[in-house]
Amino acid sequence: MLDFFKHSLDKTAEAIKHVAPKRKVTFTKDEIEEILLEADVEYALVEIIMNEIYQEEVTREILESKLLATMAWTYYKKPEYKAPFVELVVGVNGAGKTTTISKLAYMYKQEGKKVILGAGDTFRAAAIEQLTLWANRLDIPIVSSKQGHDSSAVAYDTIDSAKSKGFDNVIIDTAGRLHTQTNLANELIKINRICNKAHEGAPNRTLLIIDGTQGNSAISQAKAFNEMIGIDGIIITKLDGTAKGGSIFSIAYALQIPILYVGVGEQPENLIKFDKYSFVDKLLDTIFVQEEAPKKEKQIEDETEETPEMNVAKTQETDELTQFLRAERLILINKVSDTKAFVNYANTPVDTYIEYKNNKWSYANS
Ligand code: GDP
Ligand code: MG
């Protein structure tokens, strides 16, 4: 899974190399600004991040906290529901709806779930054929109608069939474009209503598919869909073929809707659960080198006066500090003494002290 994440950032890493050819321990603020812009983080968001960095020397930890803060709303909790779990998949033509539906269906099937698909993009005959092809390949049932038929009726029939046959998951495709935008809005609103009529609470999740190669230009489009019917989660496709990996931060920040999965290829298995920590880690790996290894060698050379015991004690204490910082998602601002440090919360600009007491690190005054 981690390799997949790396793969999804290959092109973005190449782009970053244009402005930062060598990985380093720290970068200046100007360098970081250039790197983020090169990775296609939207200009306005880069400015916000820059305003929140107070240090001239930017370390991995500082940038990590700022990047994670842009995705503070990526947390998704599955709602309470009565089976089947109905998902409605929306997005513009070519975004990757049909492909992503087959990926989700494949994943659910692997989990031992009974899945049924609804070919709700009745606007194009090719769309119905494409989903049918995938359903056959994956050996999953599909409900479809002829081109031009009512897509709400397809949604209703799919859910109805799932209920009577005891299916776990229903995934419904939709059109990405109709004759006018108003037509599309009306159709999606109607499908939404009919789903709920077929099964109370459905759709249990409305997923917006965004084409990752469009970068930040997908944001306004996504806002339009959110206003039309309300989006519960986002899936970003085609990350394997784009240098715009940084736009994920702008998309998450602008929409404040959780990113659930990313698509990294055209095959059913090319879907990765989105984890912001792994994603940020992988991106930072392409920019920074780790400081620890060379530093330890130097310590052994320089600190000849210290006894081995002292070295061990110090290392242990530092490890505990690192662990505490990681667990609490804090950034170290300044280690004032062996037992006191000034830290910053990862997702806020609030500063505080931590101290080493009773053989462990904890917040001062707590
Ligand atoms: P729809 O119009 O929204 O249903 O989009 P499709 O599912 O038909 O996908 C449009 C094109 O994008 C197809 O050629 C897909 O194979 C391709 N595609 C979709 N997802 C991915 C992805 O994650 N990676 C790559 N490389 N191609 C993708
Ligand atoms: Mg389609």
| Cβ(204) – ligand 1 distance below 6 Å | no
| Cβ(118) – ligand 1 distance below 6 Å | no
Lowest-confidence region among 175-189, 293-307, 350-364: 293-307
Whole-number Å distance between alpha carbons of 245 and 357:
42
Side-chain-side CA neighbours of 339 within 13 Å: the count stands at: 6
For 156-210, write each residue's pLDDT tens digit.
999 999 999 999 999 999 998 877 778 899 999 999 999 999 999 999 999 999 9
Rounded to the nearest angstrom, the distance between the alpha carbon of 267 and the centre of ligand 1 is 10
| Cβ(103) – ligand 1 distance below 6 Å | no
Could you say which DSSP state residue 365 is in? T
Ligand in closest contact with the CA of 123 = 2
More confident residue, 359 or 311: 359
Ligand in closest contact with the CA of 238 = 1
Residue indicated by tokens 């609490």: 328
- Closest atom of ligand 1 to 91 CA is 3
| Cβ(141) – ligand 1 distance below 6 Å | no
Could you say which DSSP state residue 124 is in? -
Residue indicated by tokens 């006066």: 305
Residue from 97, 98, 266, 271 whose mutation best tests the ligand 1 pocket (most atoms within 8 A of CB): 266
Ligand in closest contact with the CA of 90 = 1
| Residue nearest atom 6 in ligand 1 by C-alpha distance | 96
- Burial pattern 220-231, b for ≥16 Cβ within 10 A else e, equals ebbeebbebbeb
- Closest atom of ligand 1 to 271 CA is 23
Whole-number Å distance between alpha carbons of 330 and 229:
38
Q: 309 pLDDT exceeds 70?
A: no
Per-residue tokens: 160: 């109805």
Residue 80: what residue type?
E
CB count in 10 Å sphere of residue 190: 14
For 333-355, write each residue's pLDDT tens digit.
777 788 888 777 655 555 678 89
Contact 346, 331 (CB under 8 A): yes
| Residue nearest atom 13 in ligand 1 by C-alpha distance | 96
Rounded to the nearest angstrom, the distance between the alpha carbon of 264 and the centre of ligand 1 is 10
Q: 357 pLDDT exceeds 90?
A: no
Whole-number Å distance between alpha carbons of 326 and 82:
38
| Cβ(98) – ligand 1 distance below 6 Å | yes
| Cβ(238) – ligand 1 distance below 6 Å | yes
Rounded to the nearest angstrom, the distance between the alpha carbon of 151 and the centre of ligand 2 is 13
More confident residue, 15 or 343: 15
| Residue nearest atom 9 in ligand 1 by C-alpha distance | 96
Residue from 209, 213, 237 whose mutation best tests the ligand 1 pocket (most atoms within 8 A of CB): 237
| Cβ(99) – ligand 1 distance below 6 Å | yes
Rounded to the nearest angstrom, the distance between the alpha carbon of 81 and the centre of ligand 1 is 30
For 125-167, write each residue's pLDDT tens digit.
999 999 999 999 999 999 999 998 999 999 999 999 999 999 9
Contact 120, 191 (CB under 8 A): yes
| Cβ(129) – ligand 1 distance below 6 Å | no
| Cβ(94) – ligand 1 distance below 6 Å | yes
Residue 128: what residue type?
I
* CA-closest candidate to residue 362, choices 336, 349, 343, 347: 343
- Average the pLDDT over 258-265 and give the result: 94
Q: What is the largest CA-CA distance in the chain?
A: 84
Beta bridge partners of 332: 343
Considering the chain, what is the average pLDDT of its residues? 87
Rounded to the nearest angstrom, the distance between the alpha carbon of 24 and the centre of ligand 1 is 36
Rounded to the nearest angstrom, the distance between the alpha carbon of 218 and the centre of ligand 1 is 15
